[in-house]
Structures are given as structure tokens and as C-alpha cells.
Structure 1
């Protein structure tokens, strides 16, 4: 499926069973979970396959690792990069801006908007990997951080960008946990990735906690890695 008929739910094998209707365009989606739950791979596969199929462009901002290391990790999961998705690592920002720490949220916003304007209307998606790395570089917290994030996300919405935010939780995600972080109140959708232990067996899973204006399953679905990327399927927990 290509062109304007391309949907986000067609990007991972089995995801079309999780979503009855697609992730709405211009949404802000939080992809959250503990370490090792495939958050980056999940987000990268959705964006790469969507942009390739739709003939659109996007920006993947990696704040945690270099572009080269990120691509190696994606390759180890069977994920092929696309020229439609530009990867910007933190060294890009160091080259572009002399003093990045003064107002990193504003710097990030300007960088994304500049890319959007350069690429034109066909630039439709952005991912930030990860919020934890972003927060560690900021001098603010609490109410000021929430205000800054609100302004950033509203700016991306106004640009019509579908935005994926990756957030690593310190605690391990569990199927029975329904708590929502500060970010959960600022976004349109939450996709949770976690580990479920049954005896000595650990299964990775995904669950859509919320997605405004979309019809979707609320149940957990098993996530596996194949030679050609991630797959999602119904399993017993």
C-alpha cells in the first residue's frame, strides 16, 4: 500500500489487528516502557515503513546515541533505514548551536520547524528519542518543565506533524500497571511496551493505553523480533 492510502497501522505486521482505525495524523504519541522493551525499534519501524509507503518525509532525533550506533541497533532487529527518514543525532545540534543548554526545548523546536519548512508539506512526522535524555540536559523541572513541553508539543501540532515521543521508565512496565506519567496528560496517545513474566518465560508486549479519536484494542499483544523487523500478535498472558 502506498501514497496517501498508507496507514500507520500497516507498518508492523499484526498492528492492523490492534487498531481498528488508524493513529490520527498530527497526534502526539508517547511510546513508553522499561529498558529493553523495543521502544526505539517499534517507533523507528512505524516511521520508516509509513514514510516509505506514503512518499513523505520525517525526522528522527536521537539524543541518547550517535546516528551510527542507532542504525546498528535497528539493523540488529532486521529494520531497514529509509532515505525518507532523516536521523539527527546530538552532535548535529552541537555543530549548529554554540550554547545548546540555554534553552534546549526552544532549540529543538526551531531545529524541527526548520527541517519541516525545508522539506515542505511532505514532511509529516517526527520522533524524539528520548525524553529522559532531553530532561537530563535541561536545567528546569516540575511546573516549568511541563509548561515547556506543552509549548513544544503545541508547536509541533500546529505544524501538522505526527509526533512520537520515547520515554524510558525506571521501573519495569507490567500488564497490571495503569499509572500515567506527567507526559501522559500532554499527549494524544500512549503506547506501552513492557515485559510480562510467566514462570521462567518473559514475553515482550505492547498495549495501547489511549489514542484519541481512534478505535483500538485495550488488551496486551505479544511483540517479537524477526529477520524482517517487529511483529505483533495475540497471545495468552
Structure 2
């Protein structure tokens, strides 16, 4: 077991992901920033959308989902396969989806929350702050960090932006999940820029591994400050009801 030094005695935020909270002492530490990292196709978007949706459905906690890779209407349609009616909770003011794609693509958007200026990081952060406050959000998900950082020229700029992002998130008082790419988790590189994990209180790695000539999904809690957690890999699946983790299942 990896026991971290900082004791965390505060509130836990339930993930809404069956089996996962058993691995992290009941949920994410309140008002923390957690990195969800993995290669393409590992389920990062589903993981963070489930966190926002279940927060509204099961716990009555408002949440903001910032989509920088897919249009809001595409997210809604994809999540319907799990029986999740995002629009229902949007109408109730429990979920806000920020469309950060349409304006980049030059496509007109009818969304309530549209990120017009993705070039200026300060404007981006101010806008997210306003949306969070407008629904009194307790949860926030940003999918994904590389979509914020890809226009930046060098590592120094990216580091500055990510530190600023983390400071603003902590000021908002939300529990945030941020997604990033893990280009080579087996080679030890678990985030695209090698910086993201240092601004996060926790790091959850999602990956695919070949076993018996088929790909299996596994999850590893790499870091969760103030939390006792296993350093083992646990199987998970994307089922008809979303992400399900098997904490007592086969470990491979």
C-alpha cells in the first residue's frame, strides 16, 4: 500500500464510478485537482463525464464539463448509450457543458455556454470561473489539457499556464478532473508534457494491455495525496452503464 504523508481529514467527493471509491478511501479529496491520464481510447472522456453526470444524478452536486475536443451535442449523444440524459440536468441547472470546439472550428453554436476565445488562457480561465459560479458547481471536468496547451510554444509557457489553471481551480473551491494524454506509460511517461502530474493532488492512469490476444483495460492510482491507496493495477470495463472498476477482480 502506498501511504501518503499528508493526512486528509476532510470531506470526500464520490466519483460516481462503481468500485473506484473503494480504492481511494471513499472518494476524491474535496477541492482537489485530479489528473486522469491515458493513451487514446482508454475511456478518459467517459470517466470524467460519468463523474459530472453521477454527481448531479446521485448526489445533487452541480458540475461543469468543459469539452475542448468534442461539441457539446456530440457529448450528449455519446453519453446516451449509457442511459445518461445530460440535457435533463442541464435544464435543472445541475450540469453545464461548455462547448470549446465550435468556435475553434468556426461552426455556429446554439449552446448556452460557448467558449469564444480559446487562444487567450486568461480569458479561458475567467469564462470557466463564471460558468462554475453561475451554477454554484462543486465538480468540474476539463477534457483535455493538451487542447489548452497545444498553441503554446514551449515548456515554460505550458508550465506557467498549468500552474495558473491549478491556482484558479483551487480558488473556485471545486473538485476537478483534468484529462491528458499518456504517450508512453510503459516507458514511464504518464502525461503529455511531464508537468501535469505535479500540479495535481491525484493521478489516475487508464490503460489498455494485451492479454490472451485481446486488449484489456486497467486502472492504476499513481498518486492521491492524503490517501491510502494500492499501487496495483485493477481491471475496469466500459459497460452499458459506464465505467465500472473491479477492485476485487483479477489483477493483471
Alignment TM class, shorter chain as reference: 0.7 to 0.9
Alignment of 1:174-189 (within 5 A): 174=186, 177=188, 181-189=194-202
Residue in structure 2 matching 1:126, options 121, 140, 143? 140
Residues paired across the two proteins, number: 225
Query: Which residue matches 2:43?
Result: 38
- CA deviation map 1:173-225 (0-9, x unaligned): 44x84756211111111010001112302111111100112222221111112
Query: Which residue matches 1:87?
Result: 97
Contact kept, 8 Å, 1:41 with 1:77, in 2: the verdict is no
Q: CA RMSD in A?
A: 2.4
Contact kept, 8 Å, 1:21 with 1:216, in 2: the verdict is no
- What SS does the corresponding residue of 1:140 show, helix, strand or coil? coil
- What SS does the corresponding residue of 2:34 show, helix, strand or coil? strand
> 2:170 aligned with 1:157, yes or no?
yes
Distance change (3 Å), C-alpha of 1:115 and 1:93: farther
Distance change (3 Å), C-alpha of 1:91 and 1:192: closer
Structure 1 residue 92: Cα displacement: 6.7
- CA deviation map 1:118-156 (0-9, x unaligned): 223xx11111111112222x3332112201210121111
Contact kept, 8 Å, 1:21 with 1:214, in 2: the verdict is no
Distance of 1:118 and 1:131 partners within structure 2: 23
Contact kept, 8 Å, 1:32 with 1:168, in 2: the verdict is yes
Contact kept, 8 Å, 2:12 with 2:27, in 1: the verdict is no
Alignment of 1:69-218 (within 5 A): 69-81=74-86, 82-83=89-90, 84-91=94-101, 100-101=118-119, 103=120, 105-120=121-136, 123-136=137-150, 138-171=151-184, 173-174=185-186, 177=188, 181-218=194-231
Contact kept, 8 Å, 1:130 with 1:166, in 2: the verdict is yes
- CA deviation map 1:86-122 (0-9, x unaligned): 1111257668676542x2x2122101111123223xx
- What SS does the corresponding residue of 1:213 show, helix, strand or coil? coil
TM-score, normalized by length of structure 2? 0.80
Distance of 1:228 and 1:25 partners within structure 2: 25
Distance change (3 Å), C-alpha of 1:7 and 1:160: closer
- What SS does the corresponding residue of 1:65 show, helix, strand or coil? coil
More helix by share: 1
Distance of 2:116 and 2:207 partners within structure 1: 38
Structure 1 residue 23: Cα displacement: 0.9
